[in-house]
């Protein structure tokens, strides 16, 4: 089933010919940005689907450091994300096998110890294991919906979502406004904003069961519906108030 956006938006090509470069429209600042691989694009989608992210910068650097041989060199990180708690993460995005072979974790720790505090509070490694396909699909949908900037029947549906007593499928919840064919993207926006939540993890579609995110008690209480692959408070390898971590640990 096709869900048309509420308005026309600029469309950038997702891939250039002959390369894996991906272009995307960032809903946070409205700029078209570049990811140098599909994996990097998927990581970007995850940040754009996180409402606590206030800025996303692709290709952050160069960050200079002294390597294990005592030589001054530099690294360009794939991304830097800023959050609403005024912290920043620099991110390395690599296939798991390549990251293990190249010792990316150890290099990230070395760089973090030498990085200016104002550049980042933590460094993270993101691999394909942190980005399951169902989550990629949801993140891409949320990125698209955020770029609409107008959502049909938003005010009425937000009020109904806040007053929701029992879980229901998206299609059932949307019936008063023409069903999911008409307002599916508005429901997705309410999920992004934390007004609604999925009862169980999985790809968002018409049959997805949703609930009032403010009052509904999910059966597996304390379990995140969509596991956050980028934990911001993981105590692993702390360096004062700064640390490096593998996403999803």
Predicted pLDDT of residue 149: 86
Nearest CA to 164 among 202, 195, 188, 198? 195
Residue given tokens 């995307």 in the structure block: 24
Do 52 and 174 fall into the same domain? no
- According to DSSP, residue 114 is labeled H
Q: Are 213 and 187 in contact (CB under 8 A)?
A: no
Q: What are the strands, taking DSSP E only, across 111-185?
A: 122-126, 168-169
How many domains, in total, are found in the chain? 2
> In this structure, is residue 53 part of a structural domain?
yes
d(CA 117, CA 112): 9
Specify the CATH number for the domain of residue 169: 1.10.10
Q: Are 147 and 48 in contact (CB under 8 A)?
A: no
Q: What are the strands, taking DSSP E only, across 67-140?
A: 72-83, 88-93, 122-126
> In this structure, is residue 159 part of a structural domain?
yes
Question: Residue 204: which domain range?
Answer: 152-212
Do 35 and 123 fall into the same domain? yes
User: Could you report the per-residue pLDDT of 93-108, keeping only the tens digit for each?
Assistant: 999 999 999 999 999 9
> In this structure, is residue 194 part of a structural domain?
yes
Element (H, E) at 193: helix 180-193
d(CA 111, CA 228): 24
User: Could you report the per-residue pLDDT of 43-58, keeping only the tens digit for each?
Assistant: 999 999 999 999 999 9
In the structure, what pLDDT confidence band is assigned to residue 228 with cuts at 50, 70 and 90? very low
Do 121 and 176 fall into the same domain? no
Predicted pLDDT of residue 221: 52
Q: Are 119 and 88 in contact (CB under 8 A)?
A: yes
CA dist 129 → 30, 56, 122, 173, 211 (Å): 29, 21, 20, 33, 28
> Counting every residue, how long is the chain?
249
User: Could you report the per-residue pLDDT of 177-225, keeping only the tens digit for each?
Assistant: 999 999 999 999 999 999 999 999 999 999 999 999 987 544 445 444 4
Do 78 and 201 fall into the same domain? no
Predicted pLDDT of residue 42: 96
Q: Are 128 and 39 in contact (CB under 8 A)?
A: yes
Nearest CA to 168 among 4, 82, 176? 176
């Amino acid at each position: 089933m096709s869900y048309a956006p509420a308005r026309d938006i600029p469309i950038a090509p997702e891939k250039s010919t002959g390369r894996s470069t991906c272009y995307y429209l960032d809903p946070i600042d409205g700029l078209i940005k570049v990811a140098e691989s599909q994996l990097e694009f998927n990581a970007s989608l995850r940040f754009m689907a996180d409402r606590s992210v206030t800025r996303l910068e692709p290709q952050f650097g160069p960050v200079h450091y002294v390597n294990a041989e005592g030589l001054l060199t530099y690294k360009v990180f794939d991304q830097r994300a800023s959050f609403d708690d005024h912290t920043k993460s620099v991110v390395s995005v690599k296939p798991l096998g390549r990251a293990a072979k190249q010792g990316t974790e150890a290099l990230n720790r070395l760089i973090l110890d030498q990085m200016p505090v104002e550049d980042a509070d933590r460094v993270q490694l993101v691999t394909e294991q942190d980005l399951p396909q169902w989550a990629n699909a949801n993140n891409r949908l949320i990125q698209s919906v955020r770029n609409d900037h107008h959502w049909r029947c938003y005010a009425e549906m937000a009020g109904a979502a806040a007053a929701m007593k029992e879980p229901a499928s998206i299609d059932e919840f949307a019936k008063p406004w023409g069903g999911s064919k008409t307002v599916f993207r508005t429901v997705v926006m309410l999920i992004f904003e934390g007004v609604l939540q999925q009862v169980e993890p999985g790809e968002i579609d018409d049959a997805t069961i949703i609930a009032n995110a403010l009052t509904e008690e999910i059966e597996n209480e304390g379990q995140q519906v969509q596991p956050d692959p980028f934990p911001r408070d993981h105590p692993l390898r702390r360096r004062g108030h700064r640390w490096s971590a593998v996403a999803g640990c």
